[in-house]
Amino acid sequence: MYEFKQIVRLDFINLITNPMWVFFSTAFPFLMVLILGFLSSSDWGKSVTAYDYYGITMMIYAALNTATISANSFMEERIKGGNLRIIHAPVGPFAIHFSKVIASFAFGTVCHLTTGMALHFAAGVHYGTTGLAGALAIIVLLEFFASALGVLLCCVFRSESAANQILSLVITLLAILGGLFFRVDGLGSSAERLSGFFPVKWVCTALFALVWDNDPSLLAPATAILLVASAAFVAASSMIFHTEDYI
Amino acid sequence: MNPLLEIANLEKNYRERKVIHGISFSVFPGEILCLLGPNGAGKSTTINVLTGALGHSAGSIAYKGIPVKKNSRAFKGEIGIVPQELSLYEDLTATQNIRFFCSLYGIKGKELSEKTDVAIRFAGLEDRAKDKVKTFSGGMKRRLNIACAIAHDPELIIMDEPTVGVDPQSRNHILDSIRELRSKGKTIIYTTHYMEEVEEISTRILIMDHGKIIAEGTKEEIKERLAGDRELTVEYEAASPVDAGGFMNIEGVRKVTPIPEGVKISSESGVENIDRIVALLMGAKAKISNITCRKASIETVFLQLTGTTLRD
């Protein structure tokens, strides 16, 4: 366990000391919410503002992008050499790939929750009252889901650039079909039914219900979907990851 | 003496292709075993199989008599690996790199700090210990690459071409460090392309090609057994009426190669025949301008065994 903690600690340090990732995970969503909120403020009312809407959707989008962070924490050129040496150390293969999931999850959670707080104070973004704990739980689980997804794709493609190319497609698809930036029902009933198979749709709906209506009815299914999907991703990574492939 | 590491009938296949063909050898405590071979000979694959980074298709590896397969985690904990590629975190300092890799062997607290300091001194990086690796020269990175592998004080150290691309000063430092490790009782398996390094540090040599061991022994044994030929180059005036074929009648002469300056004669070592060669030349009234006698080197043996065809 001590060795695993050491790897997670280093992976976290590698992420937090990378200015690009810190910017991408904090300033980028913060500025996006301010810009989109300002531009579309006239389209929204006073009880739920544009800042409230984008404060939530951008938080979900940023959490999904943790997948690219975990892919990079695994095989980014700058750290790949050092990571490869871990293969020779007396740690099991599970510790090698799962440490990246944990470190990216921790990094994403810290960055995005900080950004959420900053948005609350700077733009009055509302994250719920009685539903706040549930909303935070969903965001945190989504971070874990995305981290596990990023590492899984890295294990599949064994290359950070290939994983990132696929991830950008997957994230965009999840965001669109999850109804992050516009309502999916506008695309027709088939698209709406299809979106029900994507976790982001459940996350999005559950968060809106929790934050704006104090309705926790979708919290359990959204949580369960994220937990099951994350566990499946980690299990698949364990099956696919063989140290032999990286020598 | 019981071997520290015993490899028996080791095979490695990549799908249908066999890259290691049932090799067997032992590594004894305190020796520096140099693994030589051209590109694609199977050295790095052998090293990676030994370290457990790659699995093997058949055969066995035993460390201190215990099969490694049954106890691979413990085995990994007792060895140190210097990979061929620089395996460092460029944005961390030398100290941070060593501390991290050392901690993966379960070392913590005061012991971790002490071992890190020892490794920093070993690499000669005391003045740069707090600097980021990305500011280091190639030689410094190579030294740190080794320091990260030995910090946890392993008994067996496996080095895969640790001096590639370093300046002569760093290479000397590395070779001195390896001798120092041996003097402390460490056992080293060392692969390289540099024959002079093998001549300098090896206590025993294994030559591999096409996934097989084609020669094994101390450098003296290998030279004696496989390249017993002594090479004599005699330079004389071109106009001298020397019948080069006449040298073949002299005892011990194996091969005569005419060269523009005279003749090159390969002769069995241990047969004293230089006087007869010179006498033949004198008899032919050759005007000798120079005679050089060269004993076979490891490089000669290596090229003789593996051929001179280019390998990629």
Per DSSP, the three-state class of B207 is: strand
Chain B positions in Cβ-Cβ contact with residue A22 (cut-off 8 Å)? none
Q: Which two tokens stand for residue A162?
A: 């290939």
Rounded-to-integer distance, Cα B236 and Cα B260, Å: 10
- Of B299, B233, B241, whose CA–CA distance to B265 is shortest? B233
Chain A positions in Cβ-Cβ contact with residue B83 (cut-off 8 Å)? 84-85, 88
Taking 80 as the threshold, does the pLDDT of residue B183 lie above it? yes
Chain A positions in Cβ-Cβ contact with residue B89 (cut-off 8 Å)? 10, 14, 79, 81-82
Q: Which two tokens stand for residue A214?
A: 């104090």
**How far does the CA of residue A67 sit from the closest CA of chain B (Å)?**
22
Q: Do B100 and A247 touch (CB under 8 A)?
A: no
* Mean pLDDT, all residues of chain B: 86
pLDDT tens profile A109-130: 999 999 999 998 988 888 877 7
Rounded-to-integer distance, Cα B52 and Cα B46, Å: 10
Q: Do B76 and A86 touch (CB under 8 A)?
A: no
- E strand or H helix at B190: strand B187-191
Q: Which of A13, A82, A89 lies closest to B105 in CB terms?
A: A89
Would you say the pTM of this structure is higher than 0.90? no
B202: DSSP letter: -
**How far does the CA of residue A85 sit from the closest CA of chain B (Å)?**
6
Residues 6+ apart with CB under 8 A from A14: A73, A79, A103, B89, B91
pLDDT at B104: 92
Q: Do B104 and A79 touch (CB under 8 A)?
A: no
B234: DSSP letter: E
From residue A66, how far is each of A72, A102, A109, A116, A150 by CA, in Å? 10, 11, 9, 15, 8
Q: Which two tokens stand for residue A80?
A: 């790949």
Helices then strands, each counted (H, E), chain B:
10, 14
Q: Which two tokens stand for residue A1?
A: 């366990």
Q: How confident is the model at residue A241 (pLDDT cuts 50, 70, 90)?
A: confident
Domain ranges of chain A: 2-246
Q: Do A82 and B77 touch (CB under 8 A)?
A: no
**Whose structure tokens read 């698209």?**
A191
Q: How confident is the model at residue B232 (pLDDT cuts 50, 70, 90)?
A: confident
From residue A172, how far is each of A55, A156, A167 by CA, in Å? 18, 19, 8
pLDDT tens profile A29-72: 999 999 988 888 887 777 788 888 888 888 999 999 999 888 88
**How far does the CA of residue B144 sit from the closest CA of chain A (Å)?**
12
* Number of other residues whose CB lies within 10 A of the CB of residue B301: 24
pLDDT tens profile B263-304: 888 887 767 788 888 888 888 888 888 888 877 677 777 777
B132: DSSP letter: B
Check: CB of residue A141 under 8 Å from CB of residue A148.
no
Q: Best of A10, A17, A96 to disrupt the B interface by mutation (most B CBs within 10 Å)?
A: A10
Q: What angle do CA B104, B105, B109 make, to 5 degrees?
A: 85
Q: Do B51 and A88 touch (CB under 8 A)?
A: yes
Rounded-to-integer distance, Cα B94 and Cα B136, Å: 9
Rounded-to-integer distance, Cα A66 and Cα B185, Å: 48
B265: DSSP letter: E
AA identity, residue B181: L
Q: Which stretches of chain A sit within 8 Å of chain B by CB?
A: 2-3, 6-7, 10, 13-14, 17, 78-79, 81-82, 84-92, 243-244, 247
- Nearest Cα residue in chain A from B104: A3
| Average confidence (pLDDT) over B78-104 | 91
Q: Which two tokens stand for residue B279?
A: 């006498």
pLDDT at A203: 86
AA identity, residue B20: I
Q: Which of A114-123, A210-219, B239-248 is predicted most confidently? A: A114-123
Q: Do A17 and B91 touch (CB under 8 A)?
A: yes
Rounded-to-integer distance, Cα A7 and Cα A85, Å: 12
Q: How confident is the model at residue B103 (pLDDT cuts 50, 70, 90)?
A: very high
Q: How confident is the model at residue B190 (pLDDT cuts 50, 70, 90)?
A: very high
Per DSSP, the three-state class of A32 is: helix
pLDDT at B95: 94
Taking 70 as the threshold, does the pLDDT of residue B227 lie above it? no
pLDDT at B225: 66
Q: Best of B89, B95, B105, B116 to disrupt the A interface by mutation (most A CBs within 10 Å)?
A: B89
Q: State the count of interchain CB pairs (< 8 A) between A and B.
A: 71
Check: CB of residue B239 under 8 Å from CB of residue B226.
no
Q: Which two tokens stand for residue B21?
A: 């063909």
- Of B270, B257, B261, B267, whose CA–CA distance to B291 is shortest? B261
pLDDT at B157: 93
Q: How confident is the model at residue A76 (pLDDT cuts 50, 70, 90)?
A: confident
From residue B127, how far is each of B120, B140, B162 by CA, in Å? 9, 11, 22
- Of A101, A76, A99, whose CA–CA distance to A17 is shortest? A76
| Average confidence (pLDDT) over B2-6 | 89
pLDDT tens profile A142-196: 999 999 999 998 888 887 788 888 988 988 888 888 777 777 777 777 777 777 7
Chain A positions in Cβ-Cβ contact with residue B86 (cut-off 8 Å)? 81
**How far does the CA of residue A5 sit from the closest CA of chain B (Å)?**
10
Q: What angle do CA A81, B146, B211 make, to 5 degrees?
A: 75
- Of B67, B83, B57, B59, whose CA–CA distance to B5 is shortest? B67
Q: Which stretches of chain B sit within 8 Å of chain A by CB?
A: 48, 51-55, 73-74, 76-77, 81, 83, 85-92, 97, 100-101, 103-106, 108, 148
Residues 6+ apart with CB under 8 A from B201: B32, B34, B175, B178, B179, B190
ipTM score: 0.83
Check: CB of residue B295 under 8 Å from CB of residue B223.
yes
